[in-house]
Amino acid sequence: MPRPAPRITGRPVVITGAASGIGRSLARRLSGLGSPVAIADVDEAGLKQTAASLRGPVLSRVLDVREAADQLRFADEVREWLPAPLAAVFNNAGVAVTSTVLEAVPEDDDWLHDINFHGVVNGTRSFLPILVEQDAGVIVNTSSVFGLLGMPYQSAYCAAKFAVRGFTEALRQELRGTGVRAVTVHPGGITTNIARNARMRKDPEGLGRTKEQMAAQFEAVTMTSPEKAATIIHRGVERGKARILVGPDAYLFDALARIAPTHYYAVISRLESGLRGRRRESVR
């Protein structure tokens, strides 16, 4: 019989990618509910802002998740710092690249894969020994709705997010019968800076748009705030979910993957066009 999911509220957690977006909102939510929080990000300025906004015990470290040795050192620091058993590790750091497959630049793809996939693997391998020793806790790895469906101009991102999904699902099976769980998170469109910080060398559709213009178009169809995403993720973990869908668009993508596994993009593109049109009408 599976063990009940333990509460993480009020217990220590680790969050990477905490300088902004979902990571920052998770840190603020859990800290506000009494959890000691260990946060990390490569963005030192953003990380300081997050740390300053938290309550209670905080361990803050500038960290490049691509570096396995640095992740191991961070895990050692957390082990020494822990005021109580570690409840959850949120491997959340992520970046984006926009390009056609034909014009993809290997340097950009490697940069993304090292952060979005290998960063998750590094974080999992670094903190899993702590959780296994406790025989309790949760590894929460951020995939995406693009880890459910492939989307044009996002081949590198989709590949990494599918990989996170596969890695975490395999880990989940290895952990059966233990007190440690592995969870995948699949956010839909979240209003964060990921599109503005993405690498894009030119408009993949040949329309001459700048990165800022494309980011604005992405933000026009996002449906969920980082704060709402953090709430959904927190509640999903505490309810013992193995896979957490974040936002109404995530549920749509999940349904389309099941019922139209090769024809989903026609539906999605029509919905996006309609949503952009309604947004434009609402600001007139």
225 vs 201, higher pLDDT: 225
270 vs 119, higher pLDDT: 119
Contacting residues for 237 by C-beta, under 8 A, at least 6 apart: 5, 8, 88, 138, 140, 183, 244
Using 50, 70 and 90 to split pLDDT, how confident is the model at 282? very low
* Residue position matching structure tokens 């099941």: 258
- pLDDT, one tens digit per residue, over 111-123 is 999 999 999 999 9
Position 279 scores a pLDDT of 45
Domain ranges in the chain are 13-250
Using 50, 70 and 90 to split pLDDT, how confident is the model at 3? low
Q: HSE (CB half, 13 Å, CA atoms) of 48?
A: 2
What mean pLDDT comes out for the span 120-129?
98
Counting other chains too, the contacts that 101-107 makes at CB distance below 8 Å and 24 or more residues apart are 101/155, 103/201, 103/202, 103/204, 104/155, 104/156, 105/201
Helix (H/G/I), strand (E/B), else coil: 174: helix
- pLDDT, one tens digit per residue, over 191-217 is 888 878 888 888 888 778 887 887 777
Alpha-carbon distance 28 to 54, whole Å? 6
Q: Is 157 a catalytic residue?
A: yes
Alpha-carbon distance 221 to 277, whole Å? 10
Q: Which of 63-67, 78-82, 188-192 has the lowest mean pLDDT?
A: 188-192
Catalytic residue among 153, 157, 264, 265: 157
pLDDT above 90 for 265: no
Would strands 37-41 and 58-62 be described as parallel, antiparallel, or unpaired? parallel
Q: HSE (CB half, 13 Å, CA atoms) of 257?
A: 14
pLDDT above 80 for 274: no
Tokens of 192: 């964060």
Record the pTM: 0.90
Q: Which fold has domain 13-250?
A: Rossmann fold (3.40.50)
H or E element that contains 252: helix 248-259
Tell me whether residue 212 is exposed, middle or buried, using C-beta atoms within 10 angstroms of its C-beta: 0 to 12, 13 to 18, 19 or more. Answer: exposed
Tokens of 125: 């391998």
- pLDDT, one tens digit per residue, over 32-59 is 999 999 999 999 999 999 999 999 999 9
- Write phi, then psi, for 99 (nearest 5 degrees): -170, 155
Residue positions counted in the chain: 284
Q: Calculate the alpha carbon distances from 18 to 49, 123, 235, 245, 264 in Å.
A: 10, 14, 19, 20, 33
pLDDT above 80 for 138: yes
Position 4 scores a pLDDT of 66
Instruction: Provide the 10 A C-beta neighbour count for residue 213.
Output: 12
What mean pLDDT comes out for the span 244-271?
88
Alpha-carbon distance 220 to 233, whole Å? 23
pLDDT above 60 for 249: yes
74 vs 270, higher pLDDT: 74
What mean pLDDT comes out for the span 175-200?
91
